[in-house]
């Protein structure tokens, strides 16, 4: 068959051989790039169209019309995107509310898939193409949006973190200013008033978090079970739950560790062995809140965390590495207790974690 004849074959003539459309979108703050692919029953993929849209309500409508125009066959249409910060949420909710099949994957999963395809370059269009092919080849479960209670909780915990960051900046400013050659008492008084106001607002957010958690009995019970860990408070657990969406996209401990940026990066080649460290390519808000919690659980004498911190310190002679190991273990324990809906038991926690890890892997 000549090339000209091949071009004349319409999608309609081959409609019985096609399985589904896959629309991959790489989303940033201002815009998103989309790619539509079509896969047949021989696992052959062809790209139908690509286009860039603004990440706005009007851009979503143009996007919907574009997909409708390009996807003419009566077969399923799957929309796939990465969970990149909060930028993907508006489009995901728009499609979800119009009863579209939306799937959202963690960035690490998408990255590994693109690497498996041999992509060496990285840009928005390449990422959109890779997501489109990923959605076509794989059967990815439909996105389950976080509950309104989780979203409300997340807005409060993030506001609290922003206040704490502002307080830290003001304290640093005060520290530097009071050591200057000439100090203006009025400026010092003004800074003190600002810090005092921020402190009051931080305390208010703690009350807001407690009220938000109590609105959901199931969430309140689970968080109360977890806060039986000495040194782990309501704000810590609420932040982890809010940032992971109640772990609704997390399928196992490995995914969770990677999502939070606690996965290990090795630097070794041949006989040369470099430093081993965590990637930090994940949710920094989780790592920030667990930093203070790791100090607390060791200070309060929780045996398994004290032992872990001491063991890592003896091996590396670096205190912070020991506390990072505690953070990682603490995150996994929170996840375990939440999923199993069990109260913390110091003697059984190791067994509980291993039991969940085995079940999730099987």
Residue 142 placed within a domain: no
| Residue 361 belongs to domain spanning | 217-362
Among 118, 137, 156, the domain boundary falls at 137
Among 168, 183, 215, the domain boundary falls at 215
Average pLDDT per consecutive 10 residues, the chain (362 residues; last block may be shorter): 43 68 94 95 92 96 96 94 87 94 89 82 87 93 89 95 95 86 86 95 96 94 95 96 90 89 65 61 90 95 94 92 95 95 78 47 34
Give how far Cα 111 sits from Cα of 8, 67, 106, 262, Å.
36, 25, 9, 17
CA angle 133, 136, 138 (to 5 degrees): 100
- Both 157 and 108 in one domain: the answer is no
pLDDT of residue 276: 66
- Both 221 and 359 in one domain: the answer is yes
CA atoms of 184 and 186, how far apart (whole Å): 5
- Both 360 and 231 in one domain: the answer is yes
- Both 196 and 228 in one domain: the answer is no
- Both 75 and 168 in one domain: the answer is no
pLDDT of residue 348: 61
CA atoms of 35 and 15, how far apart (whole Å): 20
pLDDT of residue 320: 93
CA atoms of 282 and 260, how far apart (whole Å): 5
- Both 282 and 315 in one domain: the answer is yes
Which tens digits make up the pLDDT trace of 8-22? 345 555 555 899 999
What stretch of H or E contains 65? helix 57-70
Give how far Cα 334 sits from Cα of 34, 225, 263, 292, 330, Å.
36, 10, 17, 15, 6
pTM: 0.78
- Pick from 259, 315, 266: nearest CA to 290: 259
239 conformational bin, left if phi > 0, alpha if psi -120 to 50, beta if neither: alpha
Among 194, 215, 236, the domain boundary falls at 215
pLDDT of residue 2: 44
Residue 143 placed within a domain: no
- Pick from 68, 63, 80: nearest CA to 22: 80
pLDDT of residue 16: 59
- What's the number of domains the chain is made of? 3
CATH number, domain containing residue 93: 3.30.420.10
Sheet containing 31-40: order of strands: 45-54, 31-40, 18-27, 77-82, 101-105
pLDDT of residue 124: 84
- Both 168 and 272 in one domain: the answer is no
Tokens of 113: 């898939």
- Both 210 and 227 in one domain: the answer is no
CA atoms of 361 and 353, how far apart (whole Å): 12
pLDDT of residue 266: 56
DSSP 117-155: TT-----HHHHHHHHHHHHHHS--PPP-PPPHHHHHHHH
- Both 71 and 121 in one domain: the answer is yes
pLDDT of residue 14: 52
Answer for the pair 81, 88: CB distance below 8 angstroms, yes or no.
yes
């Amino acid at each position: 068959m000549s090339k000209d004849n091949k071009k004349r074959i319409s999608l309609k003539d081959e409609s019985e051989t096609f399985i589904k459309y896959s629309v991959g979108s790489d989303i940033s703050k201002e815009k998103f790039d989309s790619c539509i692919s079509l896969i047949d029953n021989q696992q052959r993929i062809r790209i139908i169209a690509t286009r860039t849209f603004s990440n706005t309500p009007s851009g979503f409508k143009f996007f919907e019309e574009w997909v409708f125009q390009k996807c003419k066959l009566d077969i399923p249409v799957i929309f796939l995107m990465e969970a990149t910060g909060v930028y993907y949420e508006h489009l995901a909710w728009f499609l979800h509310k119009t009863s579209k099949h939306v799937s959202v994957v963690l960035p690490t999963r998408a990255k590994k898939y693109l690497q498996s395809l041999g992509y060496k370059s990285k840009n928005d269009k390449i990422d959109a193409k890779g997501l489109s092919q990923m959605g076509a080849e794989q059967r990815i479960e439909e996105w389950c949006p976080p509950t309104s209670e989780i979203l409300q909780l997340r807005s409060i915990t993030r506001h609290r973190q922003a206040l704490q960051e502002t307080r830290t900046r003001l304290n640093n400013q005060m520290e530097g200013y009071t050591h200057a050659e000439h100090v203006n008492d009025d400026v010092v008084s003004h800074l003190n008033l600002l810090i005092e106001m921020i402190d009051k607002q931080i305390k208010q957010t703690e009350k807001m978090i407690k009220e938000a958690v109590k609105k959901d009995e199931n969430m309140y019970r689970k968080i109360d079970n977890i806060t039986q860990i000495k040194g782990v408070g309501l704000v810590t657990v609420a932040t982890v739950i809010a940032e992971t969406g109640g772990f609704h996209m997390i399928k196992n401990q490995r995914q969770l560790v990677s999502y939070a940026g606690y996965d290990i990066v090795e630097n070794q080649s041949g006989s040369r062995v470099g430093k081993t460290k965590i990637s930090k390519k994940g949710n920094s808000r989780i790592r920030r809140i667990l930093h203070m919690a790791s100090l607390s659980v060791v200070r309060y004498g929780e045996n398994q965390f004290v032992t872990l911190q001491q063991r890592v310190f003896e091996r590396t002679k670096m205190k912070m590495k020991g506390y990072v190991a505690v953070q990682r273990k603490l995150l996994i324990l929170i996840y375990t207790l939440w999923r199993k809906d069990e109260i913390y038991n110091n003697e059984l926690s190791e067994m509980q974690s291993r039991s969940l890890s085995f079940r999730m892997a099987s």
